[in-house]
Amino acid sequence: MTLTELAYRHRPLVGLLAVVLMAFGAFSYFNLPAREDPKVTIREAVVTTSYPGLSAERIERLITKTLEEQVRRVPEVEELRSTSMPGQSIIHVVIEDRYFNLDQIWDDVRQEVRAAQDKLPEGASPPQVNDEFGDVAVITAALTSDDWAMRDIADMAEHIRDRLYAVDGTKRVDLLGIQQERMWIEFSNARLAELGVGPDALQQTLSRQNVIRPGGELDTGDRAFLIEPSGNFESTEDVGDTLIRLPGEAGVVPLRDVATVRRGYRDPPARKAYYNGKPAVILAVSMLEGRSVLDFSKRATARLDEVRQSLPAGYRLDLVTLQERQVEKAVYGVSFNVLQTLAILLAVVVLFLGLRTGLIVGAIVPTVMLITVAIMGLFEMTLQRMSLATLVIALGLLVDNGIVVAEEFKRRLGEGVERDATLRAVGSELALPLLSSTLTTILVFLPLMLAEHVSGEYTRSISLIMLISLLTSWVGSMTVTPLLCHRFIKAPEPGATESDGGLSERIFRPLVAIYDRLLRRVLRARWAFLGAMTLLLVASVYAIGQAPSRFFPASDRAQVLVYLDLPTGVTARTTDARLQDVFEVLNDKDRFPQVQDYGAYVGFGGPRFVLSLTPIDPAPNQAFMVLNVGERAQVDPTVKQLRSLFRQEFPGLFARVAGMFLGPSDSSKIDIQATGPDAEVITRTADRIAEILRQVPGSNGVRHDWQNRIAKIRVAVDQARARRAGVTSADIAEALETYFSGRQVTEFREGDDIFPVVARAEAGERTDLDRLKTLSVYGDDGRGVPLMQVADFELQNAYARIHREDMTRTVTVEARNDRMTAEDMVPLIRPDLERLRADLPPGHGIELDGVVKESAEGQAALAANAPLCLGVIVLLLVAQFNGFRRPAMILATMPLVLIGVAIGLYVMGANFGFMPILGLYALAGIVVNNAIVLIDRIDIERAQGYAPAEAVVKASVRRLRPILMTTATTIVGLLPLIVFQDALFFGMASVMAFGLGVATVLTLGIIPVLYSLFCRTGPAQRES
């Protein structure tokens, strides 16, 4: 018993199941978790270790290399990227793409880091492993105030954070931009030398007095009394009143007479945040896995509205980024495209098949769509731009099976076959051929499902949605559609002819006649036709190779990203001051009326507010800004305006300005690496690579990540003189650190806040280079010695950044281009790079990195499983036709899609990248289905007694209408993505529409020609 007969026997059950699944699909649409983009697992953790004052070379040698060697023992690690800078080591640990359960891997990484900790130099902080590096802040809000101090703003931000944690679905709330408080004790070197008091004496006195220790418990027998000695500092005055004992019998002196005691903030400032040019505390809110961005954002923003109403006067709470807006735009925008496509599709089907048959076929589309969403709900899949746009593409494919079933049902009724017999015949004869064609279409998407690459993970929902929707379509066409046809299709009246047909017949009648004449002419010039197709194919391959390439398209977000670099060696204070100048210009609404608001971050990259946008590593000479410009059309003009602004008005700032991007990498930025052990060689090579990139027309933002060198003062201690003076190298290092950078001597406690009390030289001395020589160094005996008596001084150049990749020193040169993508730049610079590579010493090299490397890896990941999928398709075809000739003819039609693809790329101005490549895979499966249908009909005509040559023509003419109909419905399904220029799917839809249209027309010629050659039939004679 066939599936169709089984469905007919249990019609009430089939109807009930369909209605229930459709209802659950409608429910799931409004309740499935919604996201802007598909979830991509960030397989990256950051290991951070600090050692203030240590140079970049010593950080690399003593800390970074030690940790790298230990972490590399974890077998799942694919890549290590590290940055060694003065006082800090940052290591990015990247796991291979095939791993998804990362918790155990991160535990292994932590274990190796702990094992390496004993090998680190004394004074290094314990390494911190951050494995939540990929958390996305779905909401960022800015708390600002003109009337309250930063400590008050921080306290209010902590209160708001506590309120947000009470919102269901909140995972974490980070507070960014808070400036840690300090109690500063600023002294004069001359004054301490005059009194004979060293910094060590200050530390001992303050730390021993500022205690918060219990004195025990007094037990009197009947009662117990707690004993609590005083001494804890409760105010700035308490610190200043501390009595410092002078050497010998000179007595004591209050600390305020020795040094200035004041309360302030960390200096230089660290990781400051701004909103619209005002100091701010940024609240970055991330969401628990599996929650809907739309639902969570509504709850969180409602809570923020409540908080905003209760804020004291002088505070302001604004939203900086809200992912809900982007998700609504992506989900609801594509959903509207689905409805548009559905309406157009129904109109086309009704036009081709007539009202009654068209409605029967069209009914399968919403049924399959809602059941697909229901299955997505069962498997806890998400609604995002990728899955919904795939439904748009699938719409045109869903009706193919229904059209074939309805046409066959109608044809048999017209031949006088009884309805029940027609139902049985349709179910038995079409089930396997339609299943085979459905599976071939699914199989072409299988490489995407199996690709072990981040780009494959980003687009994997395409293959999953295609699998679900097409299998559901086949089941529906074997159950629901035959039942509807059995119930509603009318048999043609006795004696009716084609001339009695409706509008569709009047449209196709002249088309059929034209096709009949052209096909007979083509069959008389078969070899010439094949030669022309070969030439077109070769030309198309060449044209596609010359088309602009782009791994993933630009984003439709109306945001502009600005990365600012100052020369290395400057402090965050200098970076902050220069950023203030930029704020003054951006706040000028006459010059930048399109800028609605902006957030800025000094010394770090802020929160990750988009999954694909990795924040920059912390550095005092860098800043990051994100500008909201209202509309996507304003992005490119704003980018050009800002580039001109920084070039003309801020020559000391190196600015990189760009729009947002889709996919895992920015396709507008090219990265080229110089690798090797010799720092001088690779930095010189990087400079030459930068010159090569600057010569490419349209290049901008050319830089390398080692940046400029910095000045380092080497204090060469004369050990003999130092021993005679009674001081050691440790005494000298501590004196230098205390005098210029400051040293914590105790801590100040206020409520639940604890912050350091730091001793350092007063501002006029610690910023004066000449004070270095006269600095007093104190030994164990308490006597001060000028530093110049025990040491010599030498000014040296040192590297400010040392980057390594996979344990090899690496300099990365980056550039952007206004006229072409990174992949288009490669052919222009490759000859110069090859010549430069040939001149490098052994052990050094030049490599392409970034989006160029990721694009090649993504395409390779797709191609790795293509032979397997092609092999399964061949097996299906051989099994269906029980031979090799017909499968060979069918496979020969696959390359024809390239002709239409080339036309589509150039006509629509689309870039050739990862998404159009997916379109190529899809086209191959769709064109194969047309060839299967056509060859199957030719065999039927021959079995009915027609001569082989005539059977080829008759079958081709008979299959013209269903083939054109299925092609038209598929193209119609792609039109909304093309007309509205969907940011992600425009290139793919353009390639599929033109490729399918051209390939279908050519298939209607190439299959008859190949059949006549493979089966040795002569040209058909024209019928009278």
Q: Tens of pLDDT along 463-500?
A: 889 899 999 999 999 999 999 998 888 776 655 544 44
Q: Report the interhelical angle of 526-546 vs 986-1014 (nearest 10°).
A: 160
* Contact predicate 269/604, CB 8 Å: no
> What is the predicted pLDDT for the residue at 1017?
57
> Average pLDDT for residues 577-586, to the nearest whole number?
94
pLDDT of residue 304: 95
- pLDDT for 502 beyond 60: no
3-state secondary structure at position 21:
helix
Instruction: Compute the average pLDDT of residues 195-220.
Output: 82
pLDDT band per the 50, 70, 90 thresholds, residue 38: confident
Instruction: Classify residue 61 by its DSSP letter.
Output: I
The pLDDT assigned to 1021 comes to 47
> In terms of C-beta distances under 8 Å and separation of at least 24 residues, what long-range contacts does 294-299 make, across chains too?
294/34, 294/324, 294/327, 294/328, 294/331, 295/34, 295/169, 296/138, 296/167, 296/168, 296/169, 296/170, 297/138, 297/139, 297/322, 297/323, 297/324, 297/327, 298/324, 299/167, 299/168, 299/169
What whole-number distance in Å separates Cα of residue 495 and Cα of residue 485?
22
Give residue 89's pLDDT band: very low, low, confident or very high (50, 70, 90): very high
List all residues 6 or more positions away from 385 whose beta carbon is below 8 Å from its beta carbon: 36, 37, 330, 331, 334, 984
Question: For residue range 954-1004, what is the model confidence (pLDDT) as tens digits?
Answer: 888 888 887 888 888 888 878 888 888 888 888 988 998 999 899 888 888
pLDDT computed for residue 492 by the predictor: 64
Looking at the predicted structure, is the pLDDT value of residue 1023 above 70? no
Q: What is the pLDDT of residue 199?
A: 84
pLDDT, one tens digit per residue, over 115-133 is 999 999 988 999 999 998 8
Determine the pLDDT at residue 579: 94
Q: How confident is the model at residue 345 (pLDDT cuts 50, 70, 90)?
A: confident
Cα of first residue to Cα of last residue in the chain, in angstroms, is 45
pLDDT digits (tens, 9 = 90+) for 551-567: 888 888 899 999 999 99
Residue 1011, amino acid: Y
Closest CA to 400 of 449, 442, 454: 442
For residue 437, pLDDT over 50 is answered with: yes
Per the listing, tokens 């699938």 go with: 394
Does 710 score more than 60 pLDDT? yes
Question: What distance in Å separates the CA atoms of residue 462 and residue 916, rounded to the nearest whole number?
Answer: 13
Q: How far apart are CA 785 and CA 788, in angstroms?
A: 9
- Is 627 exposed, middle or buried (CB count within 10 Å of its CB: 0-12, 13-18, 19+)? buried
Looking only at Cα atoms, what is the longest distance across the chain? 133
What is the rounded CA–CA span in Å between residue 607 and residue 604? 9
What pLDDT score was predicted for residue 1024? Answer: 33
pLDDT of 97 reads 87
Distance CA 490, CA 419 (A): 10
Query: Residues 390, 542: contact at Cβ < 8 Å?
Result: no
Please answer whether residues 925 and 870 qualify as being in contact, where contact means their C-beta atoms are separated by less than 8 angstroms: no
Measured between alpha carbons, how far is 395 from 593 in angstroms, rounded to an integer? 42
Q: Which residue has the higher pLDDT, 115 or 388?
A: 115
In terms of Cα–Cα distance, which of 182, 181, 185, 52 is closest to 761? Answer: 185
Residue 1010, burial from CB neighbour count under 10 angstroms (0-12, 13-18, 19+): buried
pLDDT at res. 498: 46
DSSP-assigned states of every residue in 492-525:
PPTT--GGG--HHHHHHHHHHHHHHHHHHHHHHT
* Sequence-ordered list of residues with C-beta below 8 angstroms from that of 523, at least 6 positions apart, any chain: 949, 952, 953, 1008, 1009, 1012, 1019, 1020
pLDDT confidence tier of residue 410, bands split at 50, 70 and 90: confident
Distance CA 223, CA 602 (A): 57
Residue 807 — pLDDT band, cuts 50, 70, 90?
very high
Torsion of CA 977, 979, 980, 985, to 10 degrees: 30
Distance in angstroms (rounded) separating the CA atoms of residues 384 and 386:
5
pLDDT at position 930, please? 82
Q: Which helix H or strand E contains 721, and what residues bound it?
A: helix 719-725
Q: What is the pLDDT of residue 450?
A: 84
User: In terms of Cα–Cα distance, which of 984, 908, 975 is closest to 338?
Assistant: 975
- 718 falls in which pLDDT band (50, 70, 90)? very high
Query: What does the pLDDT read at residue 1022?
Result: 44
Taking CA 436 as the corner, what is the angle to CA 434 and CA 438, rounded to the nearest 5 degrees? Answer: 70
Torsion of CA 359, 365, 366, 368, to 10 degrees: 140
DSSP state string for 122-185:
TTPPPPEEE--TT--EEEEEEEEESSS-HHHHHHHHHHHHHHHHTSTTEEEEEEESPPPEEEEE
Four-point Cα dihedral 819, 822, 823, 829, nearest 10: 90
Q: Which of 17, 7, 983, 982 is nearest to 554 (CA)?
A: 983
For the stretch 908-942, pLDDT in tens is: 988 888 888 888 888 887 788 888 878 888 888 88
Residue tagged 């550039």 (tokens): 815
Mean pLDDT of the chain: 88
Look-up of token digits 């009716």: 496
Beta carbons of 279 and 143 less than 8 angstroms apart: no
* pTM (predicted TM-score): 0.85
How does strand 753-761 pair with strand 181-187? Answer: parallel
pLDDT at 26 over 60: yes
Percent of the chain with pLDDT over 70: 98
CA pair distance 976, 984, nearest whole angstrom: 13
In this predicted model, what pLDDT tens digit does every residue of 297-312 receive, in sequence order?
999 999 999 999 999 9
**154-170: average pLDDT:** 95
Report the C-alpha gap between 511 and 350 in whole angstroms. 18
| pLDDT per position as a tens digit, 736-750 | 989 998 989 998 988
Both tokens of 20, joined, read: 């229930």
User: What does the radius of gyration of the chain's CA atoms come to, in whole angstroms?
Assistant: 37
The letter for the amino acid at 1000 is T
Report the SS3 class of residue 593: coil
**Residue 615 C-alpha from the chain's centroid:** 12
- Helix (H) or strand (E) holding 831, with range, is helix 822-838
**CA 699 – CA 684 distance, rounded (Å):** 20
